[in-house]
Copies of this chain bind each other. A is one copy, B any other.
Amino acid sequence: MIKIPALTKCYAPFFITFISFLGIAMTSLPTASVAKNISARATHFSLQNGMDVVVISDHRAPVVTHMVWYRVGAADETPGKSGIAHFLEHLLFKGTKEIPSGEFSKIISRNGGQDNAFTGQDMTAYFQRVSKDRLPLVMKMEADRMVNLRLTENDVVTERKVILEERRSRVDNDPSSILSEQMFAALYVSHPYGIPVIGWEDDMKKLNLQDALGFYKHYYAPNNAILVVAGDVNVDEVRKLAEETYGKNAPNNKLAKQNRPPEPKPQAARRVVLKDPRAGQATVQRFYLAPSYLTAEPGEAEALDLLMKIVGSGTTSRIYKKMVVKEKKATSAGGWYSGSGRDSGRIGVYAVAAGETPIEDAEKLLDQVLQDVAANGVTQKELDRARNAYLAEYIYGLDSQSRLARRYGSALVTGGTIQDVEEWPEKLKKVVLGDLQRVAKKYLVEKRSVTGILLPIPKEAADQAPASSSAKKS
């Protein structure tokens, strides 16, 4: 129901099951004891041209996950060029001198593999999953398109239609996506996280070959990239292959430090009300500006992760129990913490009103839950259960090789370190009850928030009448 437009996946031939980057997905890690055949720690080294390499050995099956992460995303776009990072991600599937246009994914497929890519505010990533013996092939291909992309006017025109259609189907045809987009725009008054990854339609229509090549030539270079290989390989094998492929690419010595405008101190609570005949039930969402793992004071992000697990995750969460089970005012309700951003994070809560429940009543209940945790904290039992749930999730997470690869890649791409990833479980264990109440009080503050209300209206009422934008009047 609730869409978080932080990442936009490419429509490549093979679609992957893509686990959210929100919450723990980015930072959870197996502990050394839990699984045989998986190295407890990743190995990190750099090539001479500045490219970072992370190797996670996993010998359970003769397959590898190969990812290249670029330290560039939608938040690095210049004004009026929104969507260019994601557009370029699509265009990387065109050709080079070696690979005819449109053949990249077909070659991977013919070799029994799968591939895809995604773009976020802080990163663009490409990945393949192939049998071990095909790793040299994909490394050669990925290293090739890092610097040798060939684009034609026709590629740009064709693919621009694709991204525009992607925007129409994913955002413009979906009121809850429109609302999320508007809420992000209201949450960030200056920082580019307020601009959608997919881009504003008017900007997208004008993206051209020169824009794409300019962005590509500046940001796609080994010294702006991280290679992550997880699977049935060892460090020396990967090092040798990486030197033979990516190692041949020249660095961009003019790579500039991205200079994103900082977000001013939050001043005023904001609301966004979207009335749409296509909406189903009335929905309330709220975002609070919060720090990310990279910007928080020590321990705060871990506390926020635990807090929001207790408050909003699943059917045993405080929000769900209060709103759906006890009061029966919502058919669905929950919350989350997104701590993976380079420059800031977010807390989110939401509820879908049940039956004829006025949306204000649902919002009031949501507020009561939040006020209660800020005023009275949570219980030790809840904290223990949330922490144990996270620990269990790491273990389950080990079953997914690609998830392991993403943990490291997503941390490193935003400026984190291997150590940040690997020390996370220990840091989580140090969080105490008071920490949760403290971050609740500090960040669940109305001036940090944007509330979004989605209201179904009869079709003929759309675009009618001047009126207040207050939800209560509709």
Residues on A lying within 8 angstroms of B by beta carbon are 78-80, 82, 178-179, 181-182, 185-186, 189-190, 192, 194-195, 200-203, 259-262, 264, 267-275, 360, 363-364, 366-367, 370-371, 374-375, 440-441, 444-447, 449-452, 463-473
Tell me the number of copies of this protein. Answer: 2
Q: How far is the CB of A174 from chain B (nearest CB, A)?
A: 12
Q: Which residues of B contact A203 (CB under 8 A)?
A: 190, 261-262
Return the chain B residue nearest A374 by Cβ. B466
Q: List 12 A-B contacts (CB under 8 A).
A: A78-B78, A79-B79, A182-B268, A186-B186, A186-B189, A268-B275, A269-B275, A275-B447, A367-B467, A441-B466, A445-B465, A451-B468
- Residues in B with CB closer than 8 Å to A449 are 469
State whether B189 touches A194 (Cβ < 8 A).
yes
CB < 8 Å: which of B82, B261, B466, B470 contacts A80? B261
Residue of B nearest to A349 (CB): B466
Rounded to whole angstroms, the CA-CA distance of A42 and B200 in the bound complex is 42
Question: A271-B470, A468-B367 are contacts. A80–B451 as well, Cβ < 8 Å?
Answer: no
Known: A269-B272, A275-B446. 6 other contacts (CB 8 A): A78-B79, A79-B260, A189-B194, A268-B274, A374-B465, A440-B466
List, in ascending order, chain B residues with CB within 8 A of A445's CB.
Answer: 463-466
Question: In the complex, how many angstroms separate the beta carbon of A259 from the nearest chain B beta carbon?
Answer: 5
Residues of B within 8 A of A370 (CB): 466-467
CB of A349 to closest CB in B, whole Å: 10
By Cβ-Cβ distance, the 4 closest A-B pairs, closest first, are A269-B469, A444-B466, A271-B271, A80-B261
With a CB–CB cut-off of 8 A, which chain B residues contact A364?
468, 473
User: Bound state CA distance, A234 and B90, in angstroms?
Assistant: 62
Q: Is the CB of A80 within 8 A of B264?
A: no
Residues of B within 8 A of A189 (CB): 182, 185-186, 194, 200
**Which residues of chain B come closer than 8 Å to A446, judged between CB atoms?**
273, 275, 465-469
How long is the Cα–Cα vector from A85 to B272 in the complex, in angstroms?
31
Instruction: Given A189-B182, A273-B269, A273-B271, check contact A80 B472 (CB 8 Å).
Output: no
Interface pair B270/A202, CB less than 8 Å apart: no
Looking at the complex, which one of B190, B259, B466, B467 makes contact with A200 (CB distance below 8 Å)? B190
Residues of B within 8 A of A470 (CB): 271, 360, 363, 451, 470-472
A452-B259 Cα distance, complex, nearest whole Å? 31
Q: Which of B192, B366, B469 contacts A451 (CB 8 A)?
A: B469
Q: Which residue of B lies closest to A258 (CB)?
A: B80
Question: In the docked arrangement, what's the CA distance between A472 and B358, Å?
Answer: 15
